[in-house]
A and B are shown apart, each in its own frame.
Chain A
């Protein structure tokens, strides 16, 4: 579904991401982890088509992303970036309606069908009762859910999320990830929390602009790799209540 072929992105001579080869399968929830500045956001922006690879290629469903019109690409991929804010007095519903943009034109104005999609998207993120609230009055978590609803209103087959659980309380964090998994769309998610990454179908680990490991989280996120990439000591613990495994971190020097 998403295929990066030796994709690199450079600013001048500096490679921000380099030779990324990655294949995200249809319907899969793929987690992208790595320290700050390792290039996770850049990979997402390459897939979203906001950036064009300096070398290499990004294919969506086999089609080169850079050959797609923005409109066609936006019908296929929706992107929830970090910190997309506005000073305009838009309502929650206004913001979600923006998601219909790639489907509309002068000859095909916003209609009842679009309205149903918007209402449904609001319901899926639990913001139905706040549809008429203004953006400025929303909490960080609510804003994030509005962005997710806006992305859902785009009816994408691929969802890109850049650290979607930032600013969310713990309940919202868990419910957003569950929601993404339940949607059944192909999702590429940059994550900070490695315990959340354990819930993905597969993960890719980024370090200094390169993809250094890729596979099922339980196999990839070994204490050894975590020590190498994140410079922390990691131990797997097992929750005695349900046998669920989780990672505990400590500084290496402790």
Chain B
């Protein structure tokens, strides 16, 4: 059996050119996101605004246009990109760790728990500012995820990985519970007008995003993606299950703790800024797998890029699809995501058969 000479040594495909292409596409999408809206803003105005703001040039612009570009649309587009990248990467990580094609922060109840945590912080007025909101969201997200995993394990075999269906069912139960808690707290709160509405926390909304949000969302999602990238090989090792990963040298508890911590951090931060946006973490990883395969060293950056692109475009659609009205961005992602979910379910069935 000396066929070894006939196997070509695999060429590691050059990722960088595609990565640059993706980044270029993202910049174009951001520009598109800034120029399209209730009023169209010419690309020239965008560049001039950026130049004025960043390099201190002095192009004459109408202050109102410059304001829209710099304070409203640009912040919104950047946060959408950071949020899309972060949620998509979270989906990839959860799908790998739980070995479940349907896992994502929204379905597993992490987003709903984060909403509840954030709402509680708002209503109870613990601390102040964006950071404590994110901290509350993080606590809520971790609590929700622990409950969901605990329920799935209690309903399943006890040890090891819960069955695929069980964890999704537990996730649904967790989501319902925490969404109900969020609604309850909002309904009960005396200062209801200060607290953002129920739809914000359940469907997501990008309006009201400003520069402080950018300064929170961009570092968190960048850091999150980098940490997950550092664990790309470990995520690959989960292909044949956690036990097999251990025998290939993965420190299971540390890896799970770090990655679930990072995923919850990303999700909680995004939820505290934009509310719970669904389906990004579910559908984007599958699209990325279709394009670049299952290896995480390529899947993670590809998912981050596609997720960023997707959410920037979804935000544009949410602003223009109904004239004179801005839809919650979660409506758009669900309109795309729910059929995507169906496709994954059907394909999964075919694979098991």
A129 nearest in chain B by CB position: B3
Docked pose: A168 CA to B2 CA in angstroms: 22
Contact B7 A128 (CB under 8 A): yes
Contact A81 B236 (CB under 8 A): no
Question: Shortest CB–CB separation between residue B278 and chain A, in angstroms?
Answer: 23
Is A74 an interface position by the 8 A CB rule? yes
Return chain A residues, CB-CB under 8 Å to B12.
110
Question: Shortest CB–CB separation between residue B352 and chain A, in angstroms?
Answer: 8
Contact B251 A70 (CB under 8 A): yes
Contact B351 A87 (CB under 8 A): yes
Q: Which residue, of B241, B248, B252, has the highest number of chain A Cβ atoms within 10 A?
A: B248
Contact A74 B240 (CB under 8 A): no
Is A26 an interface position by the 8 A CB rule? no
Q: Mark A48-78, 1 if CB is under 8 A from B, else 0.
A: 1110000000000000000001111111011
Question: Shortest CB–CB separation between residue B289 and chain A, in angstroms?
Answer: 7
Is A123 an interface position by the 8 A CB rule? yes
Return chain A residues, CB-CB under 8 Å to B3.
123, 128-129
Docked pose: A123 CA to B230 CA in angstroms: 31
Return chain A residues, CB-CB under 8 Å to B251.
69-71
Q: Which listed residue (B10, B239, B250, B289) contacts A115, Cβ 8 A? A: B10
How many chain A residues sit at the interface, stated as a range, is 35 or more
Q: Which residue, of B241, B244, B289, B348, has the highest number of chain A Cβ atoms within 10 A?
A: B244
B101 nearest in chain A by CB position: A87
Residues B213-258 near A (CB distance < 8 A): 230, 233-234, 236-237, 239-241, 243-244, 246-252
Contact A87 B233 (CB under 8 A): no
Return chain B residues, CB-CB under 8 Å to A241.
none
Contact B351 A98 (CB under 8 A): no
Q: Which residues of A line the B interface, CB within 8 A?
A: 11, 45, 48-50, 69-75, 77-79, 81, 84-90, 93-95, 98-99, 101-102, 104, 106, 110, 112, 115-116, 119-120, 122-124, 126, 128-129, 131, 136, 147, 154
7 contacts between A and B (CB under 8 A): A74-B247, A87-B101, A94-B295, A98-B240, A115-B10, A119-B4, A136-B351
Given contacts A70-B252, A119-B7, A154-B248, 15 further A-B contacts (CB under 8 A): A50-B247, A70-B249, A71-B249, A74-B248, A74-B249, A75-B249, A84-B240, A89-B294, A99-B248, A101-B234, A110-B12, A115-B9, A126-B1, A128-B1, A129-B3
Q: Which residues of B line the A interface, CB within 8 A?
A: 1-4, 6-7, 9-10, 12, 99, 101, 159, 230, 233-234, 236-237, 239-241, 243-244, 246-252, 289, 293-295, 348, 351-352
The 3 closest A-B CB pairs, nearest first, are A74-B249, A102-B249, A79-B247
